[in-house]
Chains A and B, each alone.
Chain A
Amino acid sequence: MSNLTRHRLFWPAAVLVLLLASNVFFAPRFFTITLQDGHLYGSLIDILRSATPLALVALGMTMVIATGGIDLSLGSIMAISGALACLIIGDLPNQNSVGGVLIAVGVALVLSALLGVWNGVLVSVIGIQPIIATLILMVAGRGIAQLITDGQIINVTSAPYRVIGAGYLLGIPVSVIIVAVVVAAAMLLVRRSALGVLIESVGASPTASRLAGIRARGLTITVYVFAAFCAGIAGLIFSSNVASADSNAAGNLIELDAILAVVIGGTALTGGRFSIAGSVLGAVLISALDITTYTIGVPAETTLLFKAVVVVVLCLSQSAAFRAAVFRRRAAVPATPAAEVSA
């Protein structure tokens, strides 16, 4: 089983290495990491830093997808979280007060979690399809974020807030540390306790889980709250990094990139099995793709085409029907008949 997991992550990892290696031809100093003023600098650090919001959103998305759901509202939650934090900080008499920034961060994260409760209740209590339930907040959420900022881009000059997205601790970017802590905590929680198995069980079959005595409803809500909380942190990192709240740009379509990262990481969209490490790897891969197109000097737009190709290749490689078709041609063995009759 662990062999299989390793195999699952092998290809994404190989693609990542290949992608990074290809940069050397265009930027010889690509792998150089230098220490300036006690801060680490280099392209690899840039890739990690720019991957942080996506890695967080992908982490939450992994849990949601593991329960057989999907959360389209995470980008909007990012925008709301960043907007609210910047609004509160902007109103502080002294933007540099650490206490005020902590309150702003706390309020933003609490609101994000509440939005997660809303999603979770719609999905598990009212019983709406996840994709539709979260679509509501995806559409309305950006409007709410614009309402909070009054349609403006709020700029903040708070030094303590800047630390979250652009600061360094022991030479390492603070945002990377935050993500590492959250990912480690999530991994410990789901893999060192029964929580992960319970989540997978709900994803595999909610009805069977309920009959087996698992409180699927509470678990589902928890998962959406966790995802929204992660998106909230991602929103703070994003807005802190650009020192402003931009309701339109923050987290725009990040949920789709996150789903892509999760799929790259080998988590099946049907739920029931998940890989946190895979999703984080997927997020780093997407970030590396962005940075690589930048280094190579290809127009940034083409990353979309690359992503499309990656999605298609990954999905086809995961598709049993596709593998069966290829296998049949190769080995000329009568494969199992296709489930559906093409008329």
Chain B
Amino acid sequence: MIDISAPPQPETAAVTPRRRRGLDRRHIPVLATLGLLAFMYGLGVANYDNFSDAQVFLNIFVDNAFLLVVAAGMTFVILTGGIDLSVGAVVALTTVLAATLLDAGWPAAVVLPLVLLMGTSMGLGMGAVIHYFKVEPFIATLAGMFLARGLALLINRNSIPITDPFWTAMAQERIRFAPGIFISTSVVIALVVVLIGAYVLAYTRFGRTVYAIGGNADSALLMGLPVGRTRIAVYTVSGFCSSLGGVLLSFYMLSGYSLHAQGMELDAIAAVVIGGTILTGGSGYLLGTVLGVMVLGMIQTIIAFQGDLSSWWTKIVIGVLLFAFIVLQRLVTRRTS
């Protein structure tokens, strides 16, 4: 937007490129999240017995592995300046589809790739509609949300238990570091996804195009970057991450249910925002999203330890944090631009 009231500021322009583009400013939101996380952890350790147990910390990952994967996909979409409202519904559809097929006797080796393919192709479809027909991401993924949730309900409206040996093995398998200190296989999968995602964003051409589109899609196009292909790809990535998140959730719950993951799109968006990714796109880190998910998990942990706090405080605290971080981003971006 053109701000005619503000005169050009030669002082800031004169700062050396390294300082200007510097690490500091872009890292402020992530560092703020890290600080917040440390503060919350300190608060927990100071107030509650046993809060400092390593397992309490690891449980944040165990309980939120699926959200971590979904939020990682959402980060790609938001970095391009888009949004994906369908993730929660795709997660639910994945759990229902997997549970139904397993219940019908299909082997896990077939079901697993099939549900992942389903989520990926849904993402691909939404990305194609957004790119080729210039439908707004909000509306296209809203349609995807209705579609996925509707399909899940149509397949089965009841909760379906999963008894498949592979699924139960994945659910019960623990990677132990010491007696009583463990993580689940889902955590490993989630961390691998995050590492791959972070590598792709930081070191590949695709990743840089994602940032470029979020910075300014028109400029990216004029630069000759494959804007269309990349835009479709981020929704495909998000679709894949949603279905993988759905698989992890079905490991966690050992059931498929069309009402699973209600409102997860909001949790994922909140995690991305709290993690410091700017919602207009172009700036942010996947590491921030990991911290964002940890903040959400930490809120739940503290509320669980407090005991007399009710779960709706989670929503209120997340809202307050969202507000704080959005205003922080606003201040940071206003100063740089």
Answer whether residue A181 sits at the interface, using C-beta atoms and an 8 A cutoff.
no
Interface centre among A135, A147, A150, A325 (most CB of B within 10 A): A135
Q: Decide: A128 near B326, CB < 8 A? Known: A139-B319, A140-B320, A143-B312.
A: yes
Interface of B is mostly: helix
Please, how many angstroms separate the alpha-carbon atoms of A247 and B147 in the complex?
26
Please, how many angstroms separate the alpha-carbon atoms of A113 and B253 in the complex?
41
Please, how many angstroms separate the alpha-carbon atoms of A126 and B333 in the complex?
12
Q: Across the interface, do B310 and A151 meet the contact criterion of CB distance under 8 Å?
A: yes
A135, A206, A305, A307: the one within 8 Å of B269 (CB): A135
B150, B226, B228: the one within 8 Å of A302 (CB): B150
Please, how many angstroms separate the alpha-carbon atoms of A307 and B136 in the complex?
17
Q: Across the interface, do A132 and B146 meet the contact criterion of CB distance under 8 Å?
A: no
Shortest C-beta distance, A111 to chain B (Å), equals 16
Q: Across the interface, do A301 and B153 meet the contact criterion of CB distance under 8 Å?
A: yes
Shortest C-beta distance, B73 to chain A (Å), equals 18
Query: Which A residues are in CB contact (< 8 Å) with B323?
Result: 136
Answer whether residue A42 sits at the interface, using C-beta atoms and an 8 A cutoff.
no
Q: Mark B24-64, 1 if CB is under 8 A from A, else 0.
A: 00000000000000000000000000000000000000000
Answer whether residue B203 sits at the interface, using C-beta atoms and an 8 A cutoff.
no
Please, how many angstroms separate the alpha-carbon atoms of A308 and B142 in the complex?
8
Q: Decide: A305 near B266, CB < 8 A? Known: A316-B133, A340-B227.
A: no
Q: Which of A110-138 contact B (CB under 8 A)?
A: 126-129, 131-133, 135-138
Q: Which of B123-161 contact A (CB under 8 A)?
A: 129, 131-136, 138-140, 142-147, 149-151, 153-154, 157
Query: Which B residues are in CB contact (< 8 Å) with A247?
Result: 312
Shortest C-beta distance, A246 to chain B (Å), equals 13
Interface centre among A207, A304, A305, A320 (most CB of B within 10 A): A304
Please, how many angstroms separate the alpha-carbon atoms of A144 and B270 in the complex?
17
Q: Which of A282-322 contact B (CB under 8 A)?
A: 299, 301-305, 307-308, 311-312, 315-316, 319-322
Please, how many angstroms separate the alpha-carbon atoms of A339 and B24 in the complex?
37
Please, how many angstroms separate the alpha-carbon atoms of A132 and B227 in the complex?
24
Q: Across the interface, do B133 and A146 meet the contact criterion of CB distance under 8 Å?
A: no
B138, B226, B279, B319: the one within 8 Å of A70 (CB): B138
Q: Across the interface, do B138 and A140 meet the contact criterion of CB distance under 8 Å?
A: no
Answer whether residue A234 sits at the interface, using C-beta atoms and an 8 A cutoff.
no
Shortest C-beta distance, B316 to chain A (Å), equals 4
Q: Decide: A142 near B138, CB < 8 A? Known: A132-B326, A305-B154, A315-B133.
A: no
Query: Which A residues are in CB contact (< 8 Å) with B134?
Result: 319-321, 339
Query: Which B residues are in CB contact (< 8 Å) with A341?
Result: 221, 227-228
Please, how many angstroms separate the alpha-carbon atoms of A129 and B333 in the complex?
13
Please, how many angstroms separate the alpha-carbon atoms of A131 and B273 in the complex?
13
Q: Across the interface, do A139 and B146 meet the contact criterion of CB distance under 8 Å?
A: no
Please, how many angstroms separate the alpha-carbon atoms of A142 and B136 in the complex?
27
Please, how many angstroms separate the alpha-carbon atoms of A146 and B319 in the complex?
14
Q: Across the interface, do B138 and A316 meet the contact criterion of CB distance under 8 Å?
A: no
Q: Across the interface, do B146 and A140 meet the contact criterion of CB distance under 8 Å?
A: no
State how many residues of chain B have any CB contact under 8 Å with chain A. 52
Shortest C-beta distance, A132 to chain B (Å), equals 5
Please, how many angstroms separate the alpha-carbon atoms of A320 and B136 in the complex?
12
Shortest C-beta distance, B266 to chain A (Å), equals 6
Query: Which B residues are in CB contact (< 8 Å) with A150?
Result: 310
Q: Across the interface, do B146 and A340 meet the contact criterion of CB distance under 8 Å?
A: no
B132, B149, B269, B313: the one within 8 Å of A143 (CB): B313
Answer whether residue B314 sits at the interface, using C-beta atoms and an 8 A cutoff.
yes
Query: Which A residues are in CB contact (< 8 Å) with B21?
Result: none
Q: Decide: A136 near B319, CB < 8 A? Known: A126-B330, A128-B330, A131-B138.
A: yes
| Top 10 A-B pairs, shortest CB-CB distance | A140-B319, A143-B315, A304-B150, A301-B153, A343-B226, A146-B312, A308-B147, A305-B150, A308-B146, A311-B143
On A, residues with C-beta under 8 Å from B are 70, 126-129, 131-133, 135-144, 146-147, 150-151, 206-207, 247, 256, 259-260, 263, 269-270, 299, 301-305, 307-308, 311-312, 315-316, 319-322, 325, 339-343
On B, residues with C-beta under 8 Å from A are 1-2, 83, 85, 129, 131-136, 138-140, 142-147, 149-151, 153-154, 157, 221, 226-229, 258, 266, 269-270, 273, 279-280, 310, 312-316, 318-320, 322-323, 326-327, 330
**27 pairs from A and B in contact (CB 8 Å cutoff):** A70-B138, A126-B330, A128-B327, A128-B330, A129-B280, A131-B279, A140-B318, A144-B316, A146-B315, A151-B312, A206-B1, A256-B85, A260-B142, A269-B138, A299-B153, A303-B150, A305-B146, A308-B146, A308-B150, A315-B129, A315-B139, A321-B132, A325-B132, A340-B221, A341-B228, A342-B131, A343-B228
Q: A128-B326, A206-B1 are in contact. List 8 more A-B contacts (CB 8 A).
A: A151-B310, A301-B258, A304-B149, A308-B143, A315-B140, A319-B134, A319-B135, A343-B228
